[in-house]
A and B are shown apart, each in its own frame.
Chain A
Amino acid sequence: MIPAAFEYHRPQDMAGVLAVLEEHGDDARVMAGGHSLIPMMKLRMADVPHLIDLQDVGGLSDIEIGDDSIRIGAMVTQAAIIDHDGLASAAPILREAALQIADPQVRYMGTVGGNVANGDPGNDMPGLMQCLDAVFTVVGPDGERDIPARDFYEAAYMTAREDDEVLTRVTIPLPKGGYAYEKQKRKIGDYATAAAAVQIVKEGGTCASAAIAMTNLSDTPVFSETAGAALVGTSVDDAALKAAVAAMLDDIDPTEDNRGPIAFKKHVAGVILRRAIERAWSRA
């Protein structure tokens, strides 16, 4: 497989990245680990006359755990998330999800920034970030701006990031309570048939708050506010689980593909969400 020819840029700082983006507009794209973009370029489904490799831009690979939030640089790899002890205790759902992404070789290269910025409905981090109410910081010619993960995704590969902007970091409010990232896939390395991210706070045997987001069940990740609301105030009993699953099923919009017909995907989504809620609740 031979991708179309391109001009390769490896700027040493963000100003250099933005300069190339400004000069070439739509013809330029940034690349982090490249494990989404390169396969698309090999298939000639992505045409990138000017490829900007971010590997030499400093300051994008830090993980900082603060008193009330976690900041993860766009170039932090899935492998770095898995290996980070502080993160494993501050936000264990990140590690649980990262371990279910692709395979070891891909996790050494694949980054958080690439995963969330690409806008592929199959990627796991977008739904996870919506569950955690993360904020994405992008930088462009007019400086930085923050975009909530829940407002970021517009359609498959279409996001609120403008073409001349670069996603530089993800900020996550310190998660509270129990968590689970549950994913059904056909094999290692596959995208989800259905995946659910759940974070639940329990107070005295009752669910005080719940956030639920689903992956690969629509052309964007689906943050299901009603599914979370169905659990709040309950003891997360069978009736509450059924109500949450029913609410989630109203919000998703899966399409038929080689992972199965729509009815199957809805069935799997229900099973996966139920498991995720039960596990998150048991940890809350």
Chain B
Amino acid sequence: MSNKMHIKLKVNGKDEEFLAEPRELLIYTLRERLNITGPHIGCETSHCGACTVTIDGKSVKACTMFVAQASGKDITTIEGLGGPDDLHPLQTAFKEHHGLQCGYCTPGMITRAAKLLEENPNPTEDEIRFGMAGNICRCTGYQNIIKSIQAAAAEMNASKEAAE
């Protein structure tokens, strides 16, 4: 059965239009169709969070959404947060505080952390642990991830104050 649908997405500010089968999982659309390979496929069963992206202001596991559902939506991936020459404060903090080892979970971690800090700019350690509970890291033991998010929060709050 080939029943391709006309899909329209906005990904990292860019409009995308293509034909796809509705059953295509969004993570494959991003990685294989649009060549946006920041979001990773970890478990592919909604557990690990490596595929986390932001869709219309919500952190979503892109392995658990059909491209058909995502049609019409605004999607941000790690690529939309910052690039090599223009790192997001979270990316800088993960680098400086050793918030990663192998790096596989990091795009999902940072994309989720960015949403968490948007909702709660000054989280406690417990709030970070609870808010990041949908993202699994098998290397760091989480300690440095928490430090990184705390450092990024402090940096972002300081630059916001400076701007005001």
From B44, B58, B65, A34 is in contact (CB under 8 Å) with B65
* Contact residues in B for A79 (Cβ distance below 8 Å): 58
Instruction: Report 8 cross-chain contacts, Cβ distance below 8 Å, ordered by A residue.
Output: A2-B23, A8-B66, A10-B68, A39-B45, A51-B22, A55-B69, A104-B134, A109-B65
Q: Given A4-B23, A39-B64, are A106 and B46 neighbors across the interface (CB < 8 Å)?
A: yes
From B3, B44, B64, B66, A109 is in contact (CB under 8 Å) with B64
A window 1-46: CB within 8 A of B: 1-8, 10, 34-35, 38-39, 41-42
The answer to whether A34 touches B3 (Cβ under 8 A) is no
Judge whether A53 is part of the interface by a CB distance below 8 angstroms.
yes
The answer to whether A5 touches B21 (Cβ under 8 A) is yes
* Contact residues in B for A7 (Cβ distance below 8 Å): 3, 22
The answer to whether A105 touches B59 (Cβ under 8 A) is yes
Q: A-B contact count, CB below 8 Å? A: 81
Judge whether A189 is part of the interface by a CB distance below 8 angstroms.
yes
From A3, A10, A55, A105, B60 is in contact (CB under 8 Å) with A105
Besides A53-B68, A105-B134, 15 new A-B residue pairs in contact (Cβ under 8 A), listed by A number? A2-B23, A5-B1, A5-B2, A5-B3, A34-B65, A34-B66, A35-B64, A39-B64, A55-B69, A103-B134, A104-B116, A105-B60, A105-B112, A106-B134, A189-B47
B35 smallest CB distance to A (angstroms): 20
- Which residue of chain A is the closest to B69 with respect to CB atoms? A53
- In the bound complex, how far is the Cα of B132 from the Cα of A105, in angstroms? 9
The answer to whether A106 touches B61 (Cβ under 8 A) is yes
A53 smallest CB distance to B (angstroms): 6
The answer to whether B134 touches A189 (Cβ under 8 A) is yes
A121 smallest CB distance to B (angstroms): 19
* Contact residues in B for A39 (Cβ distance below 8 Å): 45-46, 64
Instruction: Flag B49-89 by CB within 8 Å of A: 1 or 0 each.
Output: 10010000011110111101100000000000000000000
Total A residues in contact with B, Cβ cutoff 8 Å: 28
A window 118-174: CB within 8 A of B: none
* Contact residues in A for B3 (Cβ distance below 8 Å): 5, 7-8
The answer to whether A34 touches B69 (Cβ under 8 A) is yes
Instruction: Flag A104-120 by CB within 8 Å of B: 1 or 0 each.
Output: 11101100000000000
* Contact residues in A for B64 (Cβ distance below 8 Å): 34-35, 38-39, 106, 109
Which of A10, A35, A104, A108 has the most C-beta atoms of chain B within 10 angstroms of its own C-beta?
A104
- In the bound complex, how far is the Cα of B134 from the Cα of A188, in angstroms? 8
B window 90-122: CB within 8 A of A: 112, 116
- In the bound complex, how far is the Cα of B65 from the Cα of A109, in angstroms? 10
- Which residue of chain A is the closest to B67 with respect to CB atoms? A8
Judge whether B5 is part of the interface by a CB distance below 8 angstroms.
yes
From A2, A4, A35, B46 is in contact (CB under 8 Å) with A35
- In the bound complex, how far is the Cα of B60 from the Cα of A55, in angstroms? 15
* Contact residues in A for B21 (Cβ distance below 8 Å): 5
A24 smallest CB distance to B (angstroms): 14
Judge whether B131 is part of the interface by a CB distance below 8 angstroms.
yes
Judge whether B133 is part of the interface by a CB distance below 8 angstroms.
yes
From A6, A106, A108, B22 is in contact (CB under 8 Å) with A6
- In the bound complex, how far is the Cα of B60 from the Cα of A236, in angstroms? 43
A78 smallest CB distance to B (angstroms): 12
From A8, A108, A189, B68 is in contact (CB under 8 Å) with A8
The answer to whether A103 touches B133 (Cβ under 8 A) is yes
From A2, A38, A51, B65 is in contact (CB under 8 Å) with A38
Q: Given A5-B21, A8-B5, A39-B46, are A105 and B65 neighbors across the interface (CB < 8 Å)?
A: no
* Contact residues in A for B59 (Cβ distance below 8 Å): 104-105, 108
* Contact residues in B for A189 (Cβ distance below 8 Å): 47, 133-134
From B23, B130, B131, B134, A3 is in contact (CB under 8 Å) with B23
A186 smallest CB distance to B (angstroms): 12
B114 smallest CB distance to A (angstroms): 13
- Which residue of chain A is the closest to B22 with respect to CB atoms? A8
Which of A39, A51, A105 has the most C-beta atoms of chain B within 10 angstroms of its own C-beta?
A105
